[in-house]
């Protein structure tokens, strides 16, 4: 009984199936082999606790004129930067994500009436000490941040976790290929080819933090820390393995 032709067609069918599912895969060459081959598509996921979190702190200020809006935004945003400095966030972990100035209008029929300008500034903050996130969010809100989003959790270096997923995917593929080989009367399998398509990292996202500057500042409230649960992050690897059946 010959399996090469059938299994080669199965490999093409497998690739087509995953393309339809949204997994980009290149055409997989089948190396020359003496014995029948089997193509196995295998995926694996590994999870671990995150070691970094990213949140975005923004400030929107509306004033009658553009220059006053920008000046007040710059002055008030300095208070947000002072909080960041207090938590000793490194400069490499800070990035401005947007600065904007927009005029606001009220419309009566076809007549537009200016109702001032809104100046906005936002900062992406990468936090490495996850125990401080709740306090940091509360302090940012108290300092005037009125547009807070995140945190999103991840890994500073995900290669080790990805390698663990690769190992698990290979073990899964080899086990399944061996089952086919033994069913066909062969004793073992030999790897001929691997084509990997790593999936996107699955990072856990906490609910967006909301802060109202006016109430906290006017009443001089000391905000309680925001409760944060970092959960787990994961890495998924998908690959197609081609094995030769060995007597």
Q: Is residue 223 one of the residues assigned to a domain?
A: no
pLDDT in tens, 51-87: 999 999 999 999 999 999 999 999 999 999 999 999 9
Confidence band for 157, pLDDT divided at 50, 70 and 90 = very high
Give yes or no: residues 135 and 123 share one domain. Answer: yes
Q: Is residue 124 one of the residues assigned to a domain?
A: yes
- The Cα 135–Cα 228 span in angstroms is 10
- The Cα 181–Cα 2 span in angstroms is 12
pLDDT of 92: 95
Give yes or no: residues 132 and 167 share one domain. Answer: no
> How many degrees, rounded to 5, is the angle at CA 32 between CA 26 and CA 35?
115
- The Cα 236–Cα 244 span in angstroms is 26
The answer on pLDDT for 16 being more than 90 is no
The answer on pLDDT for 47 being more than 60 is yes
Token pair, residue 172, equals 């899964």
Mean pLDDT of the chain: 81
For the chain, give the number of residues.
Answer: 247
Phi then psi dihedrals of residue 27, to 5 deg? -60, 140
- Mean pLDDT value of segment 114-120: 94
pLDDT in tens, 177-218: 999 999 999 999 999 999 998 554 444 433 333 333 333 333
- For residue 191, the enclosing domain spans 4-45+158-199+236-246
Check the CA dihedral 157-158-164-170 and report its sign.
negative
């Amino acid at each position: 009984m010959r399996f090469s032709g059938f299994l080669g067609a199965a490999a093409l069918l497998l690739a087509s199936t995953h393309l339809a599912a949204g997994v980009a895969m290149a055409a997989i060459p089948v190396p020359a082999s003496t014995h029948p081959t089997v193509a196995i598509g295998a995926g694996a996921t590994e999870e671990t606790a995150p070691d970094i979190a990213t949140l975005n702190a923004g400030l929107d200020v509306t004033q009658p004129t553009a220059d006053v809006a920008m000046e007040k935004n710059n002055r008030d945003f300095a208070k947000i930067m002072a909080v960041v400095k207090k938590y000793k966030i490194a400069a490499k972990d800070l990035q401005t994500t947007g600065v904007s100035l927009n005029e606001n209008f009220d419309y009566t029929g076809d007549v537009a009436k200016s109702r001032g300008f809104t100046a906005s500034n936002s900062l992406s903050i990468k936090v490495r000490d996850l125990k401080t996130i709740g306090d940091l969010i509360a302090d940012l809100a108290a300092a005037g941040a009125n547009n807070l989003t995140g945190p999103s959790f991840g890994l500073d270096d995900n290669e080790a976790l990805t390698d663990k997923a690769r190992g698990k995917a290979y073990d899964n593929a080899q086990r399944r290929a061996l089952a086919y080989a033994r069913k066909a009367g062969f004793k073992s399998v030999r790897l001929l080819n691997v084509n990997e398509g790593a999936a996107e990292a699955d990072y856990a996202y906490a609910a967006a933090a909301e802060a109202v500057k006016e109430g906290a500042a006017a009443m001089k409230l000391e905000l309680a820390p925001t409760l944060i649960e970092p959960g787990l992050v994961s890495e998924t690897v998908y690959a197609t393995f081609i094995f030769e059946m060995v007597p």
